[in-house]
Amino acid sequence: MKTTSFILDLNKAGIKDIEKVGGKNASLGEMLQNLSQIGIKIPNGFIITVDAYREFVRFNKLDKQIHKIINEINFDEIESLRRGGLAARQLLKNSKLPKELSQEIINKYYELSKSYNQDMTDVAVRSSATAEDLPNASFAGQQETYLNVRGPAQLMNAVRNCFASIFTDRAISYRQSFGYDHFKVGLSVCVQKMVRSDLGSSGVAFSIDTESGFKDVVVINGSYGLGEMIVQGSVSPDEFIVFKPALKKGFNSIIEKKLGVKDIMMVYGDDPDERVKVIPVEKSLQNRYCLKDEKIVQLADWVMKIEEYYSKVKGSWCPMDVEWAEDGLSKELFVVQARPETIHSQKNFTEIIEYNLENSEVFEKILKGIAVGDKIGAGKASILFSLDKRVSDGHEFNEGDVLVTDMTDPDWEPIMKKASAIITNKGGRTCHAAIVARELGVPAIVGCGNATELIENGQEITVSCCHGDEGIVYNGILNYKTTTTDISQFPKIKTSVMLNVASPNLAFRFSHLPNCGVGLAREEFIINNYIQAHPLALLKHKDIGDIELSDAINKMIHGFENEEDFFIQKLSYGIAKIAAAFYPNKVIVRFSDFKSNEYYNLLGGKYFEPNEENPMIGWRGASRYYSAEYYEAFGLECKAIKNVREVLGLKNVVVMIPFCRTVDELKKVYSVMEAYGLKRGENELEVFLMAEIPSNVILASEFAKYIDGFSIGSNDLTQLTLGLDRDSSLVAHIYNERNEAVKQMIKMLLNTAKICNVKVGICGQGPSDFPDFAQFLVESGIDSISVTPDSLLKTLKAIAEIEKSANIASSN
């Protein structure tokens, strides 16, 4: 028997060899040949080809037996699938490789060991099927991988087990679902030098946002030890997001860092019979990020270059799913696998489907976790801890049930296909449950912590992933509606329409909407949701003597150098995600505009806030920034803006000052900003002013000398023009942004601004709620209108009508 076609050096394979070496191995070989030369490190190895697998099956005369087993499976019954899969695997595991092939594999293993100056090196033995990593289906995790394999005996066992894994239950089910012929699919095996990530860290990286399909970021998940823990969902990994356009310009553009729950790790076993084992992670390591910033940037750069290379080879955009490992001995990064991403690269972004819950505020929120997808699902909870035994009465998992479990692995896929939604205690965005949920289009919430304890078996629940990164489980079946919008049908207009974006977690999804940037991003929303503590409480809690407050803050700042670093970085991340989503368009970020009663409700706020009779017209906006009491806290906001623009490279951020009563106040705010490194005009920094107080309109010509633009805050302008408290139900019937007095104020501002050659936009709620108000603004010569995303379509239609009637030619 000639074995020349059975063994191939990894660096001799390429994309053209998928039918010979499988998708995974073809990709590894392609990268070794073409990307090693630009510094991307990939461990070397060799491939046992599909021809070797077919020879193994022929040599042991297994064809007819396997055909019989597969043909007898009833794919509607999980037990039948499991029995058939087990029988097929046992056939292959109990068979022998031809002697010549075995010897050739062993010789190649010794050759690989010698190249690493070892007698018997540690290797990973990875399965690679010919029907995986294809553009229309990932087949991720369908076959097996064996880690820390050392010596000929372990190697030959691992190879046989890899051959057998072509008939895992999930692989059989998956092929059946996608219509692949079980007997035309071949399997190849890669024997690759191990990276000692058991002493370092490992994970997965995508060259695309896995939830929204936003193209301009690299999303990295990582944890300590060997990477199986992340794939299995046994840990909730750290998450890092890097902005590609700024990275290309040389900025360390890490726009998000989230600390995961990394309480266990997989390492090498202590004896030959225990190749790997799971151990606890030291508490001090759990509270640190698994990768340092320089490694995050290096890895993101590699992922970006891998995407660029494969896109060039393919001839069209090809986002990538990359597995990486950091060697704890050499401290070097390695790429150990790369495949095309198969979900969002297939998505049609001209159509937007929005899911909205009705009356969700009256329903009990049971728990929260990491949202996968943006859909809503509902049904009866079915709690499973294993495929063999269910909690409670032992009924079968029914079509439309909500699967609630600790975590899933590929064997669960036949059940996951029947679920209306999936909830897991463990896992992150790149765990098995998340990957399969995306492929199936099923809403999932992972990393919930204790879902199996808080949810009762048979309980009716609703799983909502329409809130951004955070998924929420509600008690009961909630009504919801879907809205489908074809972006290509949006009317083209001349007036600039921007978006009001409150949540950084939704920014990537909104980036696909037609827009001219962001007219209002509120810092207070980011502070309230990302930080949750009063800035002065962070800076001064040690002097207060409140032990509970200090304990809460000390837990908050895990992963950060100190309290100040925590505030600056977290605020930076929130701003940066919005700025990145709409880059290079302007993103106008308003400095914090909490009222004293709102600041009071932040953690530790009671120690620093006065009790005002009417906070709405009290100590807010500009008057805070230069005050002795708040000066230092405002400085943190300035440092965050400086970090976003100058370190992360997002110079499209424009700052806006709210509730500034006098020109003298504006000058005082500028003085504080400059003390903290922000000066209007330097590094292209623009400063806008909220026009929301009558004095802003009356003295517009004076204010205009010191700013780059006005943004009308119609909510406060209405309140102060009409002399009413917009929070008071007693006078709510008088509140009307379309009142003639308010409209006259707006016209006065627009006329003055035009004389002063200063741009005017509006970011209040009025244009979103009332299309006729948007029409009034267009007729009055507004430069830009900023609306909430859910109001975009009706606003565009209203503006298109008024432009048409006024014979305003479209510039688009």
Which two three-digit tokens encode residue 722? 């009409």
- Taking the C-alpha atoms of residue 358 and residue 374, their distance in angstroms, rounded to an integer, is 16
pLDDT exceeds 90 at position 698: yes
Share of the chain above pLDDT 90, in %: 68
Which two three-digit tokens encode residue 473? 């489980």
pLDDT exceeds 60 at position 692: yes
- Taking the C-alpha atoms of residue 20 and residue 698, their distance in angstroms, rounded to an integer, is 77
Q: Which residues 6+ apart lie within 8 Å of 635 measured at CB? A: 672, 675, 676
Mean pLDDT of the region 173-178: 76
Give me the pLDDT at residue 809, please: 42
- Taking the C-alpha atoms of residue 728 and residue 719, their distance in angstroms, rounded to an integer, is 11
Q: Sign (positive/negative) of CA torsion 296, 300, 306, 307?
A: positive
Q: Which residue has the tokens 């300590």?
A: 224
H-type alpha helices, 94-145: 99-115
Cβ neighbours around 389 below 10 Å, total: 8
Mean pLDDT of the region 348-359: 77
Kindly report, residue by residue over 472-483, the tens digit of the pLDDT.
999 999 998 888
Give me the pLDDT at residue 726, please: 76
Give me the pLDDT at residue 347, please: 67
Kindly report, residue by residue over 96-132, the tens digit of the pLDDT.
999 999 999 999 999 999 999 999 999 999 998 886 5
- Taking the C-alpha atoms of residue 519 and residue 763, their distance in angstroms, rounded to an integer, is 6
Q: Is the pTM of this model over 0.75?
A: yes
Q: Sign (positive/negative) of CA torsion 163, 164, 165, 168?
A: positive
Give me the pLDDT at residue 798, please: 82
Lowest pLDDT segment from 39-43, 148-152, 176-180, 690-694: 176-180
Do residues 375 and 482 touch, judged by C-beta distance below 8 A?
A: no
Kindly report, residue by residue over 235-258, the tens digit of the pLDDT.
999 999 999 999 999 999 999 999
Q: For residue 357, name the pLDDT band (cuts at 50, 70, 90).
A: confident
Kindly report, residue by residue over 728-752, the tens digit of the pLDDT.
778 888 988 899 999 999 999 999 9
Give me the pLDDT at residue 178, please: 72
pLDDT exceeds 80 at position 300: yes
Q: For residue 388, name the pLDDT band (cuts at 50, 70, 90).
A: low
Q: For residue 390, name the pLDDT band (cuts at 50, 70, 90).
A: very low
Q: For residue 395, name the pLDDT band (cuts at 50, 70, 90).
A: low
Residues marked as catalytic: 432, 763
Mean pLDDT of the region 378-398: 73
Q: Which residue has the tokens 């060997």?
A: 226
Give me the pLDDT at residue 1, please: 53
* Rg of the chain taking only CA atoms, in angstroms: 30
Give me the pLDDT at residue 142, please: 55
Strand-pair category, 376-383 with 460-464:
antiparallel
Mean pLDDT of the region 524-536: 94
Looking at the DSSP bridge assignments, the partners of residue 691 are 712
Give me the pLDDT at residue 136, please: 45
- Residue 419 CA: distances (Å) to CA of 78, 386, 399, 670: 14, 16, 6, 56
Q: For residue 184, name the pLDDT band (cuts at 50, 70, 90).
A: confident
Strand, helix or coil for residue 28:
helix
Mean pLDDT of the region 376-391: 80
pLDDT exceeds 50 at position 138: no
Q: Which residues 6+ apart lie within 8 Å of 212 measured at CB? A: 344, 374, 508, 509, 511, 512
Give me the pLDDT at residue 4, please: 63
* Higher pLDDT pick, 179 / 412: 412
Lowest pLDDT segment from 109-118, 134-143, 145-154, 416-425: 134-143
Kindly report, residue by residue over 423-456, the tens digit of the pLDDT.
999 888 878 888 888 878 899 999 998 999 999 9
Strand-pair category, 470-475 with 365-372:
antiparallel
Do residues 494 and 810 touch, judged by C-beta distance below 8 A?
A: yes
Kindly report, residue by residue over 8-22, the tens digit of the pLDDT.
999 999 999 999 998
pLDDT exceeds 90 at position 208: yes
Looking at the DSSP bridge assignments, the partners of residue 378 are 462
Give me the pLDDT at residue 348, please: 66
- Taking the C-alpha atoms of residue 353 and residue 363, their distance in angstroms, rounded to an integer, is 24
Which range has the top average pLDDT, 461-470, 520-529, 573-582?
573-582
